[in-house]
Amino acid sequence: MRNYDLEFLKRFSIVIGFLAIVTIGLIVFAFFLHRTIPGEVSPQATKRTEQRIAPIGAVYAGSTGAAAQAAAAAAATAAAMASGAYGGTLDGKVIYDNLCTACHTNGVGMAPTLDHAHWDARIAQGKETLYKHAIEGYTGPNGGIMPPKGGNAGLSEEQIHATVDWMLANLK
């Protein structure tokens, strides 16, 4: 071998060695970073963990406990009402005007309009049947469709009952 070939191999070996050391250094650095950055936790896993560690109940003792229990029940009822559809109102007219008029005014989907000709046979089945069909939904023999809770799953059963009662009271 010639002298300049040996010199080339020596410098080439140094460059390759340097690149190998830099590569190993980058791998070690990446491994270190990977260990120090916490992994992402999925929202579903967090929710399941919170459900598992949530307390099962609460203890109330004496008159103070009874007052706290009553206040907690009132707060829970108020929160449930506020989070319900239409602010939790039990005014059947408000719910009818906002939700039911789309179908029950024009007979869309073969919905009965507010007149006795359409409702007398339904009333004969009883209010409980009307409530059940309004809550669970119903497909009539003539192909008429009533979606569950009028298509608004946020309505409570009490709101459905109030709306059905309002509709029956306002038949023409």
Given this model, what pLDDT does residue 62 score?
67
Q: Say if 78 falls within a structural domain.
A: no
> Domain range for residue 19?
1-37
What tens-digit pLDDT sequence spans the chain (172 residues)?
688 888 999 999 999 999 999 999 999 999 998 888 777 788 888 889 988 898 877 666 666 677 777 888 888 776 665 556 666 677 888 888 888 888 888 877 788 888 888 878 888 888 888 888 888 888 878 777 888 888 777 788 888 888 888 888 887 7
- CA torsion angle 24 26 31 33 (round to 10): 160
Is 81 part of a structural domain of the chain? no
Q: Is 68 within the bounds of a domain?
A: no
In a domain, 49, yes or no: no
pTM reported for the whole predicted model: 0.51
Q: Is 67 a domain residue?
A: no
CATH number, position 123? 1.10.760.10
Beta strands of the chain (E only): which ranges? 138-139, 145-146
Q: Which of 89, 92, 82, 135 is nearest to 114 (CA)?
A: 92
- Coil, strand or helix: which one is 7? helix
Domain count, the chain: 2
